[in-house]
Amino acid sequence: MRDHSKGSLSPPRYGSTDQVGKDAKIEEDGSAYRTNDSRRQIGPISAIFLIFNRMIGTGIFSTPSTILALSGSVGLTLFIWVAGMVIAAAGLATYMEFGTGLPRNGGEKNYLEYVFRKPRFLVTSMYAMYVVLLGWAGSNSVVFGEYILSAAEVEVTRWNQRGVGVACITAAFLIHGFSVKWGLRLQNLLGVIKLLILLLIIISGFVALGGHLKVEKPNNFTNAFEGTTGSAYGVVTALYNVIWSYIGYSNANYALSETKNPVKTLKMAAPTALAIVGVLYMLANIAYFAAVPKEEIMTSGRILAASFFRNMFGPRAERVLSVFVALSAFGNVLSVIFSQGRIVQEIAREGILPFSRLWASNKPFNTPFMGLFEHWLVSVVIMLAPPPGDAYNFILNVISYPLAVINVFVSLALLILYVRPFSGDRHPQHWAPPFRATWPVVLFFLLSNVYLVIAPFVPPSAGQNVYKSLPYYLHCVVGIAFFGAGAIYWLIWAHILPRIGGYRLIREHIVTDDGWSGSVFRRVKRE
């Protein structure tokens, strides 16, 4: 199961204090994470669009109708969107502090390992199970299929929709797998197109405010708080949906080893991307309210933007919108698989996965081809295996929920560093990154994610269950179970198998012939 390779031996005791200290020193001087400067191809613009494309998928074209239906009024809806942006800003600050302090590929993996060192590799194994078994890129690939077929005026069925979705994610995988440079260029191009689409919606909305519509002016801003819900569940659920619309602000953190001047770039690109997205979200909502009657918004569901285009430009414009939404979905898929493939690679570089050297390799195209392939494979299985209805919706929900759990521990880890910046068994130096989030901001982010973890367990109102026949909380339980499965995996390979086999695991740091730095484990017979 483990990889074997020659290299300098770590101290001959797995999990010993000496081992912990030496690993900490290796992480401090960066010797296990060296990156050739020629591989740093991500500049400020590409970093901005990595975040921009990840945050904006297809939700802004439909989610506002859900938020309005839950909140009951235009005024409260806008306040909820502002609250979501504030929470996202707190999350961004938290990830920026960790990213500038540990500027290398891997994101949360690095941050959790840095603080939660004991038991050795437990947190890595738990995080690995979440990463390698969940296919983030699958959902928007299916959405791409739906809207491409709609644009072509082809009847959408279960299999043609998913078939086009598989083609979408396969194209994204191959583009990034063959060339980092051209993958980034395509992402940037689609990001620009997405930006122009939203600007078209926003400008059209301001035109609508002047009364230039194909239908009667809706006057949604008169008595903006009329109809505000008295349901706490409605407000809680609306805020929950808005927060998820901002997920993706950490996307540049997963590729900092490939970023030019990573600390400076992250400090500039991440706030810029979030500010752009936040402003676009607010203005797009105002545009929708300016052109579409409140009652129609609340019943339009996934096609809110279609109602907007129809009211502004006439019925034929809906077909054009389908192309726009499909392009937005494809940009999101490119951004997701780009980052997730690199996380898989970084986990493999720790040596804890079966066939780690295969998944960690940059061969054959000097890209994380096998890491990208792993995420492609899992996403395709998730897209094709479940039947439509509850099973498919459950799969999509179980993918997103564990991220809130991870963010709880990421923010908790940073608070621990504020309280104990120096610890001999964790790190040989004080925690002093170039950017500070400050503890009130991190605490606010922690509490926000505790809310995201707990809120789905609140029983829904009648008729608002996310499933027809499954328990409303099932995806939460299964999402948490993934981390439990990771702990069981760690217990088996790190303790049970070595005890049964009469060997110890010795960790070795190596640099292979294709240039990647990482770790492998060697089995040493117990004396």
- pLDDT for residue 254 is more than 90: yes
Distance CA 74, CA 68 (A): 7
263 Cβ contact list (under 8 Å, min separation 6): 100, 103, 434, 435
- The residue-averaged pLDDT of 95-105 equals 93
Q: Which one has a higher pLDDT value, 279 or 310? A: 279
pLDDT tens profile 131-163: 998 888 888 898 899 889 988 888 888 889 899
- pLDDT for residue 400 is more than 50: yes
Distance CA 362, CA 345 (A): 9
- pLDDT for residue 396 is more than 90: no
If you classify domain 56-500 with CATH, what class do you get? mainly alpha
**Are the C-beta atoms of residues 63 and 69 closer than 8 Å to each other?**
no
- The residue-averaged pLDDT of 348-372 equals 86
Torsion of CA 273, 63, 153, 188, to 10 degrees: 10
Highest mean pLDDT among 184-198, 290-304, 467-481: 184-198
- pLDDT for residue 247 is more than 60: yes
pLDDT tens profile 14-38: 333 334 344 444 444 444 455 566 6
Q: Which residues pair with 525 in a beta bridge?
A: 503
Percent of the chain with pLDDT over 70: 86
Residue 370's pLDDT is what? 93
CA dist 422 to 31, 288, 330, 442, 484, Å? 21, 51, 44, 19, 30
Q: Which of 49, 42, 428, 85 is nearest to 285 (CA)?
A: 85
Kindly report the average pLDDT of the chain as a whole number: 83
Residue 249's pLDDT is what? 94
Distance CA 244, CA 353 (A): 30
Residue 21's pLDDT is what? 42
Q: Which one has a higher pLDDT value, 317 or 331? A: 331
Q: Which one has a higher pLDDT value, 288 or 17? A: 288
Confidence of residue 213 (pLDDT cuts 50, 70, 90): low
- pLDDT for residue 219 is more than 90: no
Domain spans, the chain: 56-500
Residue 16's pLDDT is what? 35
Residue 181's pLDDT is what? 92
pLDDT tens profile 101-115: 999 888 899 999 899
Integer-rounded Cα Rg, in Å, for the chain is: 24
**Are the C-beta atoms of residues 442 and 431 closer than 8 Å to each other?**
no
- pLDDT for residue 441 is more than 90: yes
pTM of this structure: 0.86
109 Cβ contact list (under 8 Å, min separation 6): 124, 127, 131, 343, 346, 347, 350
